[in-house]
Amino acid sequence: MHSYLVLRVVAKLLLPFILLFALYVQFHGDYGPGGGFQAGVIFAAGFILYVLIYGLRNADQVLPRGILRFGYSCGVLLFAGVGIYDMLLGGKYLDYSVMAHDPVHGQHAGIFLVELGVGITVASVMVSVFFTFARRSKDQKD
């Protein structure tokens, strides 16, 4: 893939915007269309573009496997942890109203954290599933 100069340059130009758009979709999901699932998938798609253009070796240095494994467990734990935290504060499981003095603020904080958990899990699972497929086919060729 070293000779496709146009692809490499265009991908390098586009990638920051794709990742930034993913973050926008993640954190603006409360006000516009979007949310954790969409943001995670867009982030993963952007990163897969990077892998396709620059190869597995570079991608491994950008996003090591350990971080991905940590990421997708961390996302689910964040989601479930918000529920446990609500129970510790005296509410029901995943009842965000108790998370702040004002129920509306509590809902806001809860939804924000939960969407963040969903986003982290979706992005890391998508990227690592792709990594696994790509590595496997590379291994078979060797």
Partner 1 sequence: MLGSIYSLLASAIFVVLDAVDVAFTEAAVGAGISTVLALGTLALTTGREKTPMHTRWLPLAVVLVTGAALIYGTFDLAPYGDPQAPVHRHVAPTYLAEAPQKTGIPNVVTAVLASYRGYDTLGETTVIFTAGVGVILLLGSWRRREDEDDDA
Binding positions for partner 1, rule: CB under 8 A: 25, 29-38, 41-42, 44-45, 48, 52, 56-57, 60, 72-73, 75-76, 79-80, 83, 94, 96, 103-105, 107-108, 110-111, 114-115, 117-118, 121-122, 124-126, 128-130, 132-140, 142
The overall longest dimension of the chain from CA atoms, in Å, is: 61
List the structure tokens of 96.
Answer: 């965000």
- For partner 1, the closer of residues 8 and 49 by Cβ is 49
Quote the least distance from Cβ 85 to partner 1, whole Å: 13
In the chain, the amino acid numbered 21 is F
DSSP-derived letter for residue 6 is H
Quote the least distance from Cβ 115 to partner 1, whole Å: 6
Q: What sign for the dihedral angle of Cα 110, 112, 116, 119?
A: positive
Quote the least distance from Cβ 36 to partner 1, whole Å: 8
- For partner 1, the closer of residues 9 and 73 by Cβ is 73
CA distance 14 to 4: 16
Quote the least distance from Cβ 12 to partner 1, whole Å: 18
Q: Is 104 exposed, middle or buried (0-12, 13-18, 19+ CB in 10 A)?
A: exposed
- For partner 1, the closer of residues 8 and 125 by Cβ is 125
